[in-house]
Amino acid sequence: MRVSKSFCQQFDAFLPSYLNDLRGEILACPYLAINNLNRDFVGTKGFSIVFRRSHLAVVDQRFPFFMPYLKLALQPECNAFYLNPLLLQDGSRVDPHIDRSLRSYCKTIHPPSQVSVLYVQVPLGLQGGELVLSYGKRQIAQIQPVSNLLLHFQGDLTHAVNPVKTSEMRLSLVCEQYSLTELELQDIPEFVIESRAAVVTGTVKTRRAKRDRAKA
C-alpha cells in the first residue's frame, strides 16, 4: 500500500475472480446508460446509487456484487454514500471538479470526507485516462490506473481524468463517502437509484438526475 497525506493506493485489492464477476454484473446491469452525472463527465456511461448507512442491507439485496467492495472501502465515520460505476471509452474524459453529488438533496452539504475508486478494468497499453489530483491550482498527483487498484483520496480535492485513447473500456467503481450531521442526513434519501435508463424494477423507481448535477 502506498500512502500520502491526501491519498492512498492499495494494489491487488481483490481476487481477480471478483473483479471479473463485478465487471460482468456492471455491464449487464439494466441501469447502465449515458451518465446521469453533470457535463464534466464527457462521453461516459454509468448509473448512481444514493444510500444511507442504515440502508446498506438494501444495497446488498439489490446489488450484492457491490458488497465486497463496500465492505472494504466504506469508512466507519461516514453515514451517507454516492456510489457509481464509471465507464470511459475512446475520447471520454472527466473535467476538473470537486465531488458534491449529494448537493441536489442538501444544498448546504460540504464535499465528501473521502472518495474511493476501484479500477475494475484498465486496458493494457492504455493511453491517457490518468486521474489528476489537485489542491486549488497545485497538482498533487497523477495516478496511472491499473486493474485491481483501490484508491482513496481526500474528498475536497479537485480531480479530473485525462482523455482516454483506447479501443477498449476503462471501468471504475467510485464511492463518495459523507459524514453528515443528523439535520443534513434527513435530506438524503434512504436508498434511491439514479439512471437515464428507462427501467423500473421492484418497488424502487429510478430517479432521473438533473442534467447539471450540482458540483463545486
Where exactly are the structural domains of the chain? 2-207
Residue 203 CB partners (closer than 8 Å, separation 6+): none
In the block, cell 447539471 appears at 212
C-alpha–C-alpha distance, residues 80 and 101, integer Å: 11
CB atoms within 10 A of CB 179: 17
Q: What is the pLDDT of residue 198?
A: 64
What is the pLDDT at residue 199? 57
> Whole-angstrom distance between the N-terminal and C-terminal Cα of the chain?
30
Report pLDDT for 5: 79
- Within 13 Å of residue 120, how many CA atoms lie on the same side as its CB? 26
CB 32 within 8 A of CB 26: yes
Give the per-residue pLDDT at 203: 37
Predicted confidence pLDDT, tens digits, the chain (216 residues): 666 779 999 999 999 999 999 999 999 999 999 998 888 899 999 999 999 999 999 999 999 999 999 999 999 999 999 999 999 999 999 999 999 999 999 999 999 999 999 999 999 889 999 999 999 889 999 999 999 999 999 999 999 999 999 889 999 999 999 999 999 999 999 999 999 996 544 334 445 444 334 433
**How many Cβ atoms sit within 10 Å of the Cβ of residue 151?**
24
Q: Which residues of 48-67 are buried (b: 16+ CB within 10 A; e: fewer)?
A: bbbbbeebbeebeeebebbe
CATH number for the domain running over 2-207: 2.60.120.620
Alpha helices in the chain (DSSP H): 16-28, 56-62, 67-73, 182-185
pLDDT value of position 208: 46
Of the CA atoms within 13 Å of residue 148, those in its CB half-sphere come to 12
Q: Is the dihedral of CA 24, 28, 31, 33 positive or negative?
A: positive
**pLDDT tens, 15-67?**
999 999 999 999 999 999 999 888 889 999 999 999 999 999 999 999 999 99
Q: What was the pLDDT predicted at 4?
A: 72
Which burial class, exposed, middle or buried, applies to 125 when counting CB atoms under 10 A from its CB (0-12, 13-18, 19+)? exposed
Residues 6+ apart with CB under 8 A from 195: 31, 32, 33, 36, 47, 48, 206, 207, 208
pLDDT at 211: 35
